[in-house]
Structure 1
Amino acid sequence: MITMKDIIREGHPSLTSVAQEVTLPPSKEDKEILSSLLEYVKNSQDPELSAQYGLRPGIGLAAPQINVLKRMIAVNVRDGERLYSYALFNPKIISHSIEKAFLTSGEGCLSVDRNVPGFVPRYARVTVKGWDVDGNEVKIRLKGLAAIVFQHEIDHLNGVMFYDHIDHEHPFEPIPDAIPIER
């Protein structure tokens, strides 16, 4: 089981490195890592388990955040009535809107122990393709909060941190024609 001590923090070189593709069909070890990423995110959202194991609540986690430079992400986020719970190998954004969106509260990260204020421009809608733990192809159309979370996690696979997108001179400058999303 992944705990907070397994999650590396900003400044670690793996967070700014590009992760390698996972060979498919996935190995037993890769399947275990991918499953453990999703298990962490789910457990971290359970108040009892997060208190018992000292887990910081999260809605997504990427393998580079546990110092595994492979293209794997897990997301467990509720957006309105819908639960988006996915663990994917080699996720890739295959199409996106021109329209942008951002979280009005800004973004956070399990690998960042400080508040980084500012709006993070993201695509309002994305289509993501990847492979599940059994090696089956998955294609998901996302919008709103779920689209933002997937983009955040896929950025980790490319060595990009959420604050790399913030305009540091004007962190709360309105993003033209972007959809503000409350969280």
Structure 2
Amino acid sequence: MITMDDIVRDGHPVLRQTAEAVELPPTERDKQQLADMIEFVKNSQDEDIAEKYGLRPGVGLAAPQINISKRMIAVHCEDEDGHLYSYALFNPRIVSHSVKRAYLATGEGCLSVDKSIPGFVPRYEKIRVKASTLEDEYIDIRLKGFPAIVFQHEIDHLNGIMFYDHIEKDRPFAEPDNAVAIGKS
């Protein structure tokens, strides 16, 4: 079981590396690591389990965050309508995106970053992602709003990019052009 002790923190070199593609079909070890990642994200959202094991709640996790430089992500979140997006993916890639942007009105956080870094993080409002699942299925999904933001955050980790890299340094709360705010401020 993955715990907060397994999460590498900001400054660790693996967080700035471009992760390697996972060879498909994945090995049993890769499958187990990805299964453990989605279990962690779900556990972190369960109040009893999170309290028992000292887990910070999260909606996504990328393999580099547990010191594995491979292209694997786990996402477990709901959109504004309460629709659940629960995915454990190998080699996810954004194949298209909207011109319109979006950002979280409350800013973004990260399990690998122990402090709050205020500011708006401009993302694409809509994205299309292709990837392989734990069940060896090839999927093509369209995402918008909050789930799209979560996927972009996690895929950024696979490319050595941290969320705060997107924040405008001199004007952290400058509203991004052509963007919609997601969530309450």
Normalised by the shorter chain, which TM-score bucket? over 0.9
Alignment of 1:89 with 2:90, yes or no, is yes
Counterparts of 1:118-133 in structure 2 under 5 Å?
A: 118-133=119-134
User: How far, CA to CA, are the matches of 1:81 and 1:107 in structure 2?
Assistant: 20
Deviations 1:70-104 (A, max 9, x none): 00000000112200000000000011001100000
CA distance in 2, matches of 1:151, 1:35: 20
Q: Give the structure-1-normalised TM-score.
A: 0.99
* In 1: Cα distance, 2:171 partner to 2:180 partner: 18
| Aligned position for 2:175 | 174
Distance across 2 between alignment mates of 1:41 and 1:26: 21
Give the count of matched residue pairs: 183
Distance, in Å, in 1 between the alignment partners of 2:82 and 2:182 is 16
Give the stretch that moved more between structures: 56-65 or 171-180. 171-180
Runs ≥4 residues deviating over 6 A: none
Alignment correspondent of 1:34 = 34
Give % identity: 58
Q: Within 1, Cα distance between the matches of 2:48 and 2:116?
A: 25
Return the alpha-carbon distance in structure 2 between the equivalents of residues 121 and 129 of structure 1: 22
Secondary structure in 2 matching 1:35: helix
Q: Which amino acid aligns with 1:176?
A: D
Equivalent position of 2:67 in the other structure = 67
Distance 1:50 1:174 in 2: 34
User: C-alpha displacement at 1:134, in angstroms?
Assistant: 2.2
Q: What residue is the counterpart of 2:45 in the other structure?
A: 45
- 2:166 aligns with 165
Cα displacement (A) at 1:139:
1.1
